[in-house]
Amino acid sequence: MVKKTYREVLTRASSFLEEQGKEGYGIQFLFLERKNWTKTDWLLKMNEEISQEDEKQIQEDLAALLQDQPPQYLLGYADFYGHRLQVTPATLIPRPETEELVELCLKKTSEEELKVVDVGTGTGAIAISLKLARPAWQVIATDISEAALTVAKHNAQQLQADIDFRLGDTLAPLPGEKIDILISNPPYISEAEWEIMDESVRMYEPKTALFAKNDGLAVYQKLALESRDLLKPDGKIFLEIGFQQGAAVKEIFSKAFPKKSVQIFQDMAKLDRMIVVS
């Protein structure tokens, strides 16, 4: 029997993925995560003979990646803002752009006791990251999906983040309550964008967390309307947006809050990605 090294098997698998029009690095990412190997571990061990067990796992992962299954769903977790979160097909996979929203919120707010609401919490990524960074804050997280809230509650418990989770649509679970900060990464993709989306997103991530009516603006319109009665006079709003939605979302919130400043912020890729109402 010809001996095969880790590098040979993974290089072959990566090349095969690329030949099929898939991202080749995904198979190595999965392998290193499953083995809990660092890049240094990989450099030290890549020329060792691969075990049958590891080769079998690589073949199983290769088959899954060929079916466009996201690596994070295969692992059952994703890393976000320094925290490891459980992810399931009931939740969106947290993205680096949303880490930038968390960072912007922390940068532009104080550490004093504030009442904060994360709408459409999904995995709980935003709510948990804010609570762990600002222990004095009272953080409430809402979601329309009971399955997503189950994941978020698990993540909060694992990371010891004390968060008030509520089931319901946007701000409906907070009747009459006054809040200091509203933050959200809501569904904002237009149904017209379906054809240009990545196949793994279309097939596996929850549609209710992705798509919104009115060219992707429906949830922003709803949040603008509902937050007028709940946001304190000096309250702030932090929103993630689609990179082409800056002007439209700014107009929605400028009309809802004519006395407040509405600013567009760009992400690290220099794309319009966040709106701040203050």
Q: Give the pLDDT confidence score for residue 65 in this predicted structure.
A: 92
Q: How far apart are CA 122 and CA 129, in angstroms?
A: 13
The pair of structure tokens assigned to 150 is: 């189950």
pLDDT tens digit string along 27-67? Answer: 999 999 999 999 999 999 999 999 999 999 999 999 999 99
Q: For residues 145 and 176, is the Cβ–Cβ distance under 8 A?
A: no
- What mean pLDDT comes out for the span 218-242? 94
pLDDT at residue 205 is higher than 60: no
Q: Is 41 helix (H, G, I), strand (E, B) or coil?
A: helix
pLDDT confidence tier of residue 217, bands split at 50, 70 and 90: confident
Give 193 or 17, the one with higher predicted confidence: 17
pLDDT tens digit string along 238-259? Answer: 999 988 889 999 999 999 999 9
CATH topology of domain 84-277: Rossmann fold (3.40.50)
Q: Give the pLDDT confidence score for residue 203 in this predicted structure.
A: 61
- What mean pLDDT comes out for the span 74-99? 94
The pair of structure tokens assigned to 187 is: 């569904």
Q: Give the pLDDT confidence score for residue 127 in this predicted structure.
A: 98
Alpha helix positions (H), the chain: 6-19, 25-35, 39-45, 52-66, 71-75, 96-107, 125-133, 146-158, 199-204, 213-216, 218-230, 246-256
Q: Give the pLDDT confidence score for residue 208 in this predicted structure.
A: 62
Domain locations in the chain as residue ranges = 6-67, 84-277
Q: How far apart are CA 85 and CA 4, in angstroms?
A: 34
Contact partners, residue 3, CB within 8 Å, separation at least 6? 49
Q: Give the pLDDT confidence score for residue 201 in this predicted structure.
A: 58
Of 7-11, 22-26, 54-58, 136-140, the least confident: 22-26
Under DSSP, the state recorded for 92 is P
Which of left, alpha, beta for 180 (phi over 0: left; psi -120 to 50: alpha)? alpha
- What mean pLDDT comes out for the span 130-154? 97
Q: Which residue, chain included where needed, has tokens 């925290």?
A: 83
Q: How far apart are CA 53 and CA 63, in angstroms?
A: 16
Q: How much of the chain exceeds pLDDT 90, in percent?
A: 78
Pairing of the two strands 231-240 and 179-184: parallel
- What mean pLDDT comes out for the span 217-236? 93
